[in-house]
Structure formats: structure tokens, C-alpha cells
């Protein structure tokens, strides 16, 4: 396991497969905590109303139940939700955060309990100052509770597929005549290169006209160096159209079976 980038944790399995996870920063985590705090308040208020009914029978018992339920909810909320939702509280779910084992192993109940109980120290002296500072200093953005429990909090943004059909609809792609070359392009182009081409097409209207021509010219030159297309496929098309075709070849999933 290693840390490849400033906010990324990379895990390499013994089989040589590599995963990378984006670590959540203190600000996002603080926001998730604020949502959780609101959830705890709402749950406690609801329980107070429900248990308030006991007050008609005995005020003493109603108060006792109120004290106990607040303690159980405030201490047990994080433990229960993270256990039930496999590393997520309500706040973490909304902000797409997840608690994970530091080594990518299964999250254990004891890890969840420890990271939640150590909030007592992390929240000192006010507003998670100790935890926030630890998170900033730590290489893996861990507060003290995470450190003791061997956990990290990662950010899992859901990837929405770009609407390529809308972008490329009705456009003839001369590359489709050459499936073997398309396959070679898919194989040779790195994900970063494909991403650049896609972003250029999607943001093309934001560019100044001259910059737009120059940018597509540069990118087209780059891809022409990666894979050689027959002249009939590239004749008479602009650099921008060339890149459109490249993006279509790389990202096309219309007839895919999955």
C-alpha cells in the first residue's frame, strides 16, 4: 500500500491489482458531521416526544428514559449507522463519504466502535479541533479515532456517464469503417488522454475561436501520433471532427451488452 498523490490512498493487492481511493478532507468531513449532528438532534427530539407520554405516568421515569435515550443516540448513532450502512452515516451518505479499513480489508465492528468512541478526544476542545488538526497533519487525513481504529474516510463520487449520444448524434464517424483501428486506439490511448479529448469536446463552446482551433490541432496531432489512420478516414475532416471521432471511438457504448 502506498500514497501516490496528496489526497489519494493506493492499495496494491498481492495479485498486482491496484486501487486508488480519494481521501476525504477535513472540511467535507466536518460538513458530514454537521448533518449527523442535525440527525441526532431530530432523532432525540422525536424520542423525547414519544417518551414524553410516559410523563403522564411518572415524570421521574420519563426523565430517566430521556437522559438514557439521548446518551444512547448521541454515542450509538455513529456506531449503528456505520455498521448498518457499511461505513456510512447519514451525513457521509449524502456527501458520498465512506469509512474504510486502511488496508482495504473488511471493516470490523470493533474498528467502528473505536473510531466513534475516540470522538470524545477528537472533539476537544471545541468543534473537533483536535480531530481536525490531526486530519490536516496526518498523511492519510485521519483523525485520532481513525488512527487508532486503522480506518480512513474516502470520497466515492458517483461517475455520471457523459451524454455522448447527445454530443455526437447524427454525426457520421468515418472511423467506424475501421473497427480494428478503433480497437487499437482504445488499447493505446491512456485514460488521461481520452479524458483530455472528451473534455475538449464538451467545453469547446467555452473557448476563444483561435484557441479552439489551436487546441484541437494539438490534440489531433497527438492522437495521430498514437494511432495511424488511413488517409480516407481523415481526409476532409477538421481537427475538431477528428477529435469527435476519437471520443466516439473511445467512449461509444450504445450497443454494449451489460
Partner 1 sequence: MIIDLRKFIKEEKPYWDELESILDELEKGTGSRLDLTRLKRFHYLYQRTSADLAKFATFSSEPNIRRYVESLVGRAYGEIHETREKPHRLTPLHWFFTSFPRIFRKHIRAFGISFLAMLIGFALGGFAISIDPDAKEALIGFSHLKGDPSERVAKEEDVDEDRIEGRKTSFSSFLMTHNTKVSIFTLALGMTYGIGTIIMLFYNGVILGAIALDYIMAGEAWFLFGWLLPHGSIEIPAILLAGQAGLVLAGALIGWGKPLTLRNRLREVSNDLVTLIFGVAILLVWAGIVEAFFSQYHEPVIPYTVKIGFGAIELFLLAMFLSISGRKKKFA
On whether the CB atoms of residues 100 and 21 are closer than 8 A, the answer is: yes
Q: Which three cell numbers stand for residue 191?
A: 485514460
DSSP letter at 155 equals E
- How far apart are CB 172 and partner 1 at their closest, in Å? 20
What is the Cα Rg of the chain in Å?
26
Scan for cell 480516407, then name that residue.
232
Q: Examine residue 189 and tell whether it contacts partner 1 (CB under 8 A).
A: yes
> Per-residue contact track with partner 1, 7 to 36, x per CB under 8 A?
----x-xxxxxxx-----------------
SS3 47: helix
- Judged by CB under 8 A, the stretch of 45-53, 112-120, 213-221, 227-235 that binds partner 1 is 112-120
- Rounded Cα–Cα distance for residues 85 and 67 (Å): 26
What are the strands, taking DSSP E only, across 102-157?
151-155
Instruction: Show contacts with partner 1 in window 48-77 (CB under 8 A).
Output: 58-61, 63-65, 67-68, 71, 75
Site string for partner 1, 203-222 (x = CB under 8 A): --------------------
Under the criterion CB under 8 A, does residue 186 sit at the interface with partner 1? Answer: yes
Residue 2 binds to partner 1 (criterion: CB under 8 A): no
For position 106 contacting partner 1 by CB under 8 A, the verdict is yes
Per-residue binding letters, 225-254, with partner 1 (x by CB under 8 A) = -------------------------xxxx-
Contact between 250 and 189 (Cβ < 8 Å): yes
The kind and range of the H/E element at 8 are: strand 8-12
Q: Give 11 or 207: the residue with its C-beta nearer to partner 1.
A: 11
Determine phi and psi for 64, rounding to 5 degrees.
-60, -45
Question: Is residue 113 within the footprint of partner 1 (CB under 8 A)?
Answer: yes
Contact 169, 207 (CB under 8 A): no
Rounded to the nearest whole angstrom, what is the least distance from the CB of residue 236 to partner 1 in the complex? 26
Q: Which span sits near partner 1 by CB under 8 A: 32-40, 101-109, 168-176, 209-217?
A: 101-109
Q: Would you call 190 helix, strand, or coil by DSSP? A: coil
3 belongs to the binding site for partner 1 (CB under 8 A): no
**Contact yes or no for 179/243 (Cβ under 8 A):** no
Contacts with 44 (C-beta within 8 Å, 6 or more apart), sequence order:
69, 70, 73, 74
Determine the interface stretch with partner 1 among 89-97, 170-178, 186-194, 205-213 (rule: CB under 8 A). 186-194
Closest CA to 155 of 58, 31, 15, 12: 31
- The correct pick among 35, 47, 80, 121 for binding partner 1 (CB under 8 A) is 121
Binding site for partner 1 (CB under 8 A): 11, 13-19, 58-61, 63-65, 67-68, 71, 75, 86, 101-106, 108-111, 113-114, 117-121, 144, 147-150, 159, 161, 180, 183, 186-187, 189-191, 193-194, 250-253, 255-258
Amino acid at each position: 500500500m502506498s500514497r501516490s498523490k496528496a489526497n489519494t490512498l493506493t492499495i496494491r493487492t498481492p495479485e498486482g491489482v491496484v486501487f486508488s481511493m480519494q481521501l476525504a478532507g477535513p472540511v467535507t468531513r466536518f460538513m458530514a458531521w454537521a448533518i449527523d449532528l442535525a440527525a441526532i438532534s431530530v432523532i432525540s427530539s422525536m424520542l423525547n416526544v414519544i417518551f414524553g407520554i410516559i410523563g403522564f405516568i411518572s415524570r421521574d421515569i420519563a426523565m430517566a428514559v430521556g437522559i438514557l435515550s439521548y446518551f444512547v443516540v448521541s454515542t450509538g448513532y455513529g456506531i449503528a449507522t456505520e455498521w448498518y450502512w457499511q461505513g456510512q452515516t447519514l451525513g457521509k451518505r449524502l456527501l458520498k463519504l465512506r469509512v474504510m479499513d486502511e488496508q482495504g480489508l473488511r471493516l470490523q465492528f470493533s474498528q467502528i466502535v473505536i473510531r466513534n468512541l475516540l470522538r470524545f478526544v477528537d472533539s476537544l476542545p471545541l468543534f473537533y479541533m483536535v480531530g481536525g488538526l490531526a486530519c490536516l497533519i496526518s498523511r492519510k487525513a485521519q483523525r485520532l479515532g481513525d488512527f487508532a481504529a486503522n480506518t480512513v474516510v474516502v470520497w466515492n463520487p458517483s461517475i455520471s456517464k457523459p451524454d455522448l449520444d447527445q454530443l455526437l448524434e447524427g454525426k457520421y464517424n468515418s472511423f467506424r469503417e475501421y473497427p480494428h483501428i478503433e480497437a487499437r486506439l482504445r488499447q493505446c490511448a491512456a485514460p488521461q488522454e481520452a479524458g483530455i479529448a472528451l473534455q475538449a469536446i464538451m467545453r469547446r463552446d467555452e473557448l476563444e475561436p483561435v484557441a479552439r482551433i489551436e487546441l484541437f490541432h494539438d490534440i489531433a496531432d497527438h492522437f495521430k501520433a498514437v494511432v495511424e489512420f488511413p488517409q480516407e478516414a481523415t481526409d476532409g475532416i477538421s481537427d475538431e471532427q477528428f477529435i469527435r471521432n476519437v471520443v466516439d471511438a473511445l467512449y461509444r457504448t450504445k450497443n454494449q451488452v451489460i
